[in-house]
Amino acid sequence: MALFSRLTLLGSEVRFLIEEDVPSIRTRVLLRNGTPVWFYGVHPRPPVPTEDPTSMARDAELLVVGREVKAIREPVIVAGDLNDVAWSSTTRLFQRVSGLLDPRRGRGFFNTYHARWPLLRWPLDHVFHSKHFWLRRLRRLPYWGSDHFPVLITLQFAPEAGQVQEEPEASREEQREASEKIATARSDSAP
Q: Residue 112 is part of a domain; what is its CATH number?
A: 3.60.10.10
Structure confidence at residue 48 (pLDDT): 77
pLDDT at 185 over 70: yes
Q: Is 1 a domain residue?
A: no
Threshold 0.75, pTM exceeds: yes
Task: Measure the CA–CA gap between 59 and 100, rounded to whole angstroms.
Answer: 16
Domain of residue 147, residue span: 8-189
Percent of the chain with pLDDT over 70: 97
The number of domains in the chain is 1
Segment 75-93 mean pLDDT: 93
Report the alpha-carbon angle 33-126-77, nearest 5.
25
Structure confidence at residue 10 (pLDDT): 97
Please, is 45 exposed, middle or buried when counting C-beta atoms within 10 Å of its C-beta (0-12, 13-18, 19+)? Answer: middle
